[in-house]
Amino acid sequence: MDLSLSTRSEGDRTVVEVGGEIDVYTAPRLREQLVDLVADGKYHLIVDMERVDFLDSTGLGVLVGGLKRVRAHDGSLRLVCTQERILKIFRITGLTKVFPIHSSVEEAVSATE
């Protein structure tokens, strides 16, 4: 299954809805999307991973890269994820301590630092 990406604004936040597989093959496209958003001045990102079927460490690397980019502009990168098998990968790599992970886009939108 391929990667699908769509973005929309929610107030001052930008929601990136990701679907399909984020892996070594598709991660460059997600990376490009995040780089473009930051270049466009979008520094408060919410990555909605509810429709992600597969995530590997390459995908994690891209998310970490995105986090570094928005932080350089005092921004934020929040994740929406309730899927256990995806959460497990964040836990294994210690990234649950790095990313704020929310259980819905609404929750992520209303979250403050």
Ligand X SMILES: Nc1ncnc2c1ncn2[C@@H]1O[C@H](COP(=O)(O)OP(=O)(O)O)[C@@H](O)[C@H]1O
Q: Which residues bind ligand X (CB under 6 A)?
A: 57, 60-61, 64, 93-95, 98
Q: Which is nearer to ligand X, 90 or 105 (CB)?
A: 90
Residues 6+ apart with CB under 8 A from 32: none
Q: Which is nearer to ligand X, 61 or 100 (CB)?
A: 61
Tell me which residue has its CB nearest to ligand X.
Answer: 61
Q: Which is nearer to another protein, 93 or 107 (CB)?
A: 93
| Residue 92 binds: one of ligand X, another protein, none (C-beta under 5 to 8 A by kind) | another protein
Name the residues that contact another protein, by CB under 8 A. Answer: 21, 23-25, 27-28, 31, 54, 56-58, 60-62, 64-65, 68, 85, 88-89, 92-94
Q: Which is nearer to another protein, 92 or 111 (CB)?
A: 92
Q: Tell me 95's DSSP state.
A: G
Residue 2: other Cβ atoms inside 10 A? 9
Instruction: For CA atoms 78, 50, 85, 102, give the dihedral sign.
Output: positive
Residue 99 CA: distances (Å) to CA of 2, 25, 40, 70, 71: 24, 23, 22, 12, 12
| Residue 50 binds: one of ligand X, another protein, none (C-beta under 5 to 8 A by kind) | none
Which of these, 81, 47, 40, lies nearest to 63 by C-alpha position?
A: 47
